[in-house]
Structure 1
Amino acid sequence: MRAAVLTRFGAPLDVREVPEPEARGGEVVVEVLAAFVPPYSEDVFGGRRNYPLEPPLIPGLGGVGRIVHVGPDATRLRVGDLVWCDCTVRARDDALTPDIMLQGWSSRGEGGARLARYLHDGSFAELMRVPTENVHPLPDRAGDDPARWSLLGIYTIPYGGLLAGGLEAGETILVSGATGNLGSTTVALALAMGAGRVVAPGRNRAVLGLLADRFGPRVRPVGLTGDEAADRAAMSAAADGPIDMVFDALPPAAPSSVTRTAAMTVREQGRVVLMGGVGMLGGEDLALPYPWLMRNSVTVRGQWMYPRSANVGMIRLIASGTLDLGSEQIRTFGLDAVNDAVRHATVHGGPFDRTVLTPRAR
């Protein structure tokens, strides 16, 4: 089969013939039809994000595909089924705190690194080996537009954070980093889940206008100035009432002060969910005031990725039309143009501007 291989950090991906994967017990082999290309892929492959990848490997964060082989322990999956392949792989020998890796992308700790050495290849290939529990059936109509359904790869991430924060219908949520790729996705998803109001702060006035135009009065844009006190007051005023939850989706380059400013708008007994990359490249710590946290009974929760059940919930949201992906702008690339896809994703990392690799397309 053909695949795009990361031979070393800083080198272009090399499209070459590689051995076909073989499924063992507890595994499935899938023909990859579409795989989302994250806008920060170039930073990962260039080594600038310091991800614990060990080249050579085939990168890629999950995808849509058709099953070509199932292991003996699968009781419902069949060859030919259209499926979503979740990249978040958990070790099977600890139910409470399993080691975790993102197949073909990243890992957590030494245990996650050991897991990644075994299941190291991702979805930038014609075929991919996936743990059985990471394969989720899709409705038949998803086969008409697998590239659009591959956006599960970006939407399921904030969905896990919103579930962790217990977002309820009618609540007001503030999305810190709302003008970015992940943040704008969170805005759309929070509204689909029934948020009554979404406060959307950011510096990019054009994107703030786009969010307001796209989603209407339930979105309250706030232009940030960099003055913590003034920005906190502006965000609180835009909410026109208590802010029940703050969701941080800021990228690694953002200063922690922006996260802190947003977090401290949350109401007494409110929730703060951290899913961004602040601090990954160094810089000051978040430093939320102890007395403020304690006296206001504020819950602060970090969330990396999502539980397995989030995949099923996300598929239902899209299949039912509750979350409409019809207006997403999608550019597809074949496997031979994978490096063009990575460059395109870098330049087109704004709201609802997506890049998708279609490995079987010629």
Structure 2
Amino acid sequence: MKAWQLERLGGALSLNDIPIPEPRAGGVVVRIEASSLMSYLKAYVEGKLPIYNAPQRTFVPGGNGVGVVHSVGRGIWHLKPGQRVVLSSHFVAQENVQDPAQILIGVTANGPIAQQVQADWGDGTLAEYALFPASAVTPAADLSQLDATQLAVSMRHIVPYGGLLRGRLAAGETLIVSGATGAYGTAAVIVALAMGAGRIIAVGRNEAALEAIAAVGHGRVVPIQSTGDVEADVAKIRAAADGGAHMAFDMVGNARDPNMTLAALRSLARGGRLVLMGTMTAPLPIPYTEVMLNGWEIIGQFMYPRDAYRRLLDLIRSGQLDMNAIRPRTYPLSALPEAMNAATQTGNFECIVMRHEG
């Protein structure tokens, strides 16, 4: 098969002919049809993201994907050759322990035990075939209306879906999405609409992007342009939320100050929840007394639970989740360098997808 291999972060990336992986216990070999590209893959490959820890060997990078089961290893009972599936790079060790290690397959692992997991499951989806642990493979039956390229875009939805599930978003509630003009922030708005949010306050800095996001909500999305002034922004958000929101979802990207996040927190109604899934480079100063008096919850969330992809696919099957809002831009597997460059500049309503021809 053809596979992109990276010798190390910052090392050579090359398209090679290597053997199709053999199935092994607990594993599933999938013929990849399409895979979604991370916006930061170019910086990752070039070794410019020091918080990421790649496998200590030449490996196949790549995140989530879509394909057809090719073969299965021992101890696999439900997945069968020929089934259409989605692959999740997020894998959690299956032992029944308090704090199981977790990794992003083909991307990173943090901590010594996670690095042992990564040694077993090091290769991602930028190849014609991939060997994945069965618990990271979800059947995608009854979705014939979506081709592999369209289904690969679900990677953009699954990450914020994990945060919305963790925050217990309920139908009819008012939600603040902070950082709504980013790729995952926009997807959070789309997923929250599918989950039945009654009103979504989309907060960001780009006015034109906010108006485009509001258009997908058909009256249920209210755009609020952030000024960076916490008090002024809180006043605007609270007015839009009729006094306060039930939940806030924070997906700010590489924020150098905490102001947008603090505005979201302080716009919550009593008993409201704030879920943190963004990337902030500054400390978050928590207003202790305000949090205590208002009974606010502050919840950190990394990725999504194992059953999230199955539940997301149910939202697609039922017609609740609009899979046309985010548009795929496709590249053949051989054009990975060009696609990585494009991914650094895609808009929040676009997703780079690699089409595999193997």
Give me the TM-score of the superposition, normalised by structure 2.
0.95
Using the TM superposition, give the Cα deviation of residue 140 of structure 1 relative to its aligned residue in structure 2, in angstroms.
Answer: 4.7
Partner of residue 266 from structure 2, selected from 260, 264, 267: 264
Structure 2 partner of 1:57? 59
Using the TM superposition, give the Cα deviation of residue 124 of structure 1 relative to its aligned residue in structure 2, in angstroms.
Answer: 0.5
Matches within 5 A, 1:335-354: 335-348=333-346, 350-354=347-351
CA separation of 1:141/1:307 partners in 2, compared to 1, >3 Å: closer, same or farther?
A: closer
CA separation of 1:3/1:271 partners in 2, compared to 1, >3 Å: closer, same or farther?
A: same
**Cα distance in 2, alignment partners of residues 142 and 105 from structure 1:** 30
Matched residue type, 2:99: T
Structure 2 partner of 1:113? 115
Partner of residue 204 from structure 1, selected from 193, 203, 206: 206
Q: Is contact 2:31–2:129 with CA below 8 Å preserved after alignment?
A: yes
Structure 2 partner of 1:302? 300
- Where structure 1 has 5 or more consecutive residues not aligned to the other structure, the ranges are none
Using the TM superposition, give the Cα deviation of residue 184 of structure 1 relative to its aligned residue in structure 2, in angstroms.
Answer: 0.3
Structure 1 partner of 2:40? 40
Structure 1 partner of 2:7? 7
Matched residue type, 1:358: R
Matches within 5 A, 1:127-138: 127-138=129-140
Matched residue type, 1:52: N
CA separation of 1:203/1:310 partners in 2, compared to 1, >3 Å: closer, same or farther?
A: same
- Where structure 2 has 5 or more consecutive residues not aligned to the other structure, the ranges are none
**Cα distance in 2, alignment partners of residues 24 and 185 from structure 1:** 35
SS of 1:323's equivalent in the other structure is coil
Residue range with higher mean Cα deviation, 336-345 or 90-99: 90-99
1:360 aligns with 2:357: yes
Residue range with higher mean Cα deviation, 212-221 or 26-35: 212-221
Matched residue type, 1:135: V
Deviations 1:86-105 (A, max 9, x none): 21111122443210001001
Q: Is contact 1:251–1:278 with CA below 8 Å preserved after alignment?
A: yes
Matched residue type, 1:102: L
Partner of residue 89 from structure 2, selected from 83, 87, 90: 87
Using the TM superposition, give the Cα deviation of residue 144 of structure 1 relative to its aligned residue in structure 2, in angstroms.
Answer: 5.4
SS of 2:189's equivalent in the other structure is helix
Deviations 1:243-289 (A, max 9, x none): 0001010112442232122222111111010011113xxxx311111
Q: Is contact 2:9–2:54 with CA below 8 Å preserved after alignment?
A: no
**Cα distance in 2, alignment partners of residues 209 and 254 from structure 1:** 24
SS of 2:330's equivalent in the other structure is strand
Name the structure where strand makes up a greater proportion of residues: 2
Q: Is contact 2:177–2:185 with CA below 8 Å preserved after alignment?
A: yes
Using the TM superposition, give the Cα deviation of residue 357 of structure 1 relative to its aligned residue in structure 2, in angstroms.
Answer: 0.7
Residue range with higher mean Cα deviation, 325-334 or 336-345: 325-334
Structure 2 partner of 1:20? 20
CA separation of 1:173/1:202 partners in 2, compared to 1, >3 Å: closer, same or farther?
A: same
Give me the TM-score of the superposition, normalised by structure 1.
0.94
Kindly tell me the number of residue pairs found equivalent between the two proteins: 356
CA RMSD of superposed structures (Å)? 1.6
**Cα distance in 2, alignment partners of residues 85 and 6 from structure 1:** 20
The share of aligned pairs that are identical, in percent, is 37
CA separation of 1:105/1:229 partners in 2, compared to 1, >3 Å: closer, same or farther?
A: same
CA separation of 1:127/1:180 partners in 2, compared to 1, >3 Å: closer, same or farther?
A: same
